Amino acid sequence: MSSKPGPACQRERDDLVQCILRTDCVLKQNKSPKECLQAKTELPIQCQQLLATYTDCRRGLLDMRRRFRGNHLTDEAKRGGVYESSLDAARGDKEASAPESEQK
């Protein structure tokens, strides 16, 4: 039996929620996560990158061209580096798998 994939963008959402819950805004200032999200500039860079990634994923669900081609992260979200290592692992490191004669 194969397990069903989770809802779209769920991993990105969960990562964003965990990041926001660990911020000083929530822990020290006792604000709600919603209030902290409204003050985006006060969020740590990592949370801002996760927010951009989540927003990009959600936007991809509504864009018919992206739905047809596949909901891939934009270059801006990739530059954030949040999921860079998982993207490299998913597509395989081409340089590492190429023979040494081709790498030179």
Give 11-49 pLDDT, tens digit per residue.
999 999 999 999 999 999 999 999 999 988 889 999 999
Query: Is 99 domain-assigned?
Result: no
Query: Is 33 domain-assigned?
Result: yes
Q: What CA–CA distance (Å, rounded) separates 63 from 100?
A: 41
pLDDT band, very low/low/confident/very high, at 88 (cuts 50, 70, 90): very low
Q: How far is CA 91 from the centre of its chain?
A: 16
How many structural domains compose the chain? Answer: 1
Percentage of the chain lying above the pLDDT 90 cut: 41
Query: Is 38 domain-assigned?
Result: yes
Parent domain of 57:
10-80
Percentage of the chain lying above the pLDDT 70 cut: 58
Query: Is 90 domain-assigned?
Result: no
Q: What CA–CA distance (Å, rounded) separates 3 from 8?
A: 15
